[in-house]
Amino acid sequence: VIAIDRMIQDQQKKNVEIFNLGTGRGFSVLEVIQSFEKVSGRKLNYKIADRREGDIEKVFADTEFANRELGWKALKSLDEMMLSAWNWELKLNEFRK
């Protein structure tokens, strides 16, 4: 709501602003898989393998700009985020029928 108010009042600094949203705590792919399996009750088919040539080890996104500019901070746990995404997908599937 704050971001929309700023746009309406023409207070944004640029025509387009890009924000990294998140909690500021990263998760491994395996942590995300395990969380999804936990909240959905479904087993995912995956295989643990060596990193491929060109794969990067870590990626970080600084959320401070979004927190400061939007006056908002993500507070959900990984399980809460996975459950929300899973519920969204279930609702989309119902809509598609």
pLDDT at 25: 86
Average pLDDT over residues 65-71: 86
pLDDT at 7 over 80: no
Side chain identity, residue 84? S
Distance between CA atoms of residues 65 and 44, nearest Å: 35
pLDDT at 61: 80
3-state secondary structure of 36: helix
User: What percent of the chain has a predicted confidence (pLDDT) above 70?
Assistant: 86
Q: Which two tokens stand for residue 1?
A: 């709501």
Rounded to two decimals, what is the model's pTM? 0.70
User: What percent of the chain has a predicted confidence (pLDDT) above 90?
Assistant: 43
Q: Which two tokens stand for residue 86?
A: 């899973």
Question: For residues 7 and 16, which has the higher predicted lDDT (pLDDT)?
Answer: 16
Q: Which two tokens stand for residue 65?
A: 């700009």
